[in-house]
Amino acid sequence: TLNPETRTLLKVEYSKQTKVKSKDDQKLIQTLMGNDVAPRKDFIISRALDVSNLDI
């Protein structure tokens, strides 16, 4: 939700011990957190049936 009173923001970052940030990791972060909605939507749709615990 975008409501500032009820939302939770979590910062996602690499561990300080991570020396190599793989291109796969960077691509996944860009897919999930980037401004382009289409790749994120495709990611969610392609995995929707694999979800076993969803709180709506």
d(CA 19, CA 9) in angstroms, rounded, equals 26
Summarised one tens digit per residue, pLDDT across range 26-46 is: 898 899 989 999 999 999 999
In this prediction, residue 11 carries a pLDDT of 83
The residue with greater pLDDT, 19 or 23, is 23
54 pLDDT band, cuts 50/70/90, is confident
* Domain region containing 39: 18-50
Number of structural domains, the chain?
A: 1
pLDDT at 31 (0 to 100): 94
What's the pTM?
0.58
Residue 45, domain member (yes or no): yes
43, 32 contact by CB (below 8 A): yes
Average pLDDT, the chain: 85
Q: Is 13 inside any structural domain?
A: no
Instruction: Give which of 48, 54, 28, 50 is closest to 39, Cα–Cα.
Output: 28
